Amino acid sequence: MQYCPWTICLPDFYAVHMVPTPAAMSYGTALSRNELFSSPGLQRDVPRILDSEEEVLLALPGVAGRYPLVMIATAQRLLVAQVTGGVKGVRLKKEASARSITGISYRPGLFTRVRVHSSETHDIRMVPNRKVDAERFTREFDSLLRTGHLPR
């Protein structure tokens, strides 16, 4: 640790006073199951749009870039967020309640897409970053819809 002339060093202050919420911890766990590209905003900013007690079940990063998307499945809702890099850091692009979701489909190929079917909104689509992550997300999401539990 570097010498800090102030009474409270900022890194120490944040380490003690900025405790991660259950939503941020479950999001980090779900996101770590994917092969990630370098985007600090995916880890740092996205948890801001989650309710503090919300449990993230699955996460799928979109195509790598300056402002990537991420599809997040929680017990209450499915959402697509975009890292913006601005002051807020993240923007909610699409959202559907969990009970309105009727299915999921995955189309591999040149224009790979994951599509979540919803009865109350338009289908929610996203181009994933990696094919293997999209296949896993689709398989686990389908199991979640059929059984109410993630596969072990």
Reported as a single tens digit per residue, the pLDDT across 123-147 is: 999 999 999 999 999 999 999 999 9
The answer, yes or no, to whether residue 39 has pLDDT greater than 60, is yes
What is the distance between the alpha carbons of residues 99 and 126, in angstroms, rounded to a whole number? 20
Residue 97, sorted as left (phi over 0), alpha (psi -120 to 50) or beta, turns out to be beta
Q: pLDDT band for 8, please (50, 70, 90 cuts).
A: very low
Reported as a single tens digit per residue, the pLDDT across 84-114 is: 877 778 999 999 999 999 999 998 887 789 9
Specify the higher pLDDT residue, 120 or 40.
120
pLDDT for res 86: 74
All domains of the chain, ordered by start, with CATH? 10-147 (2.30.29)
63 C-beta neighbours (distance < 10 Å), count? 13
- The stretch 36-64 carries a mean pLDDT of 86
**Could you tell me the CA-to-CA distances from 49 to 75, 76, 89, 120, 132 in Å, in that order?**
15, 14, 10, 21, 26
The answer, yes or no, to whether residue 43 has pLDDT greater than 90, is no
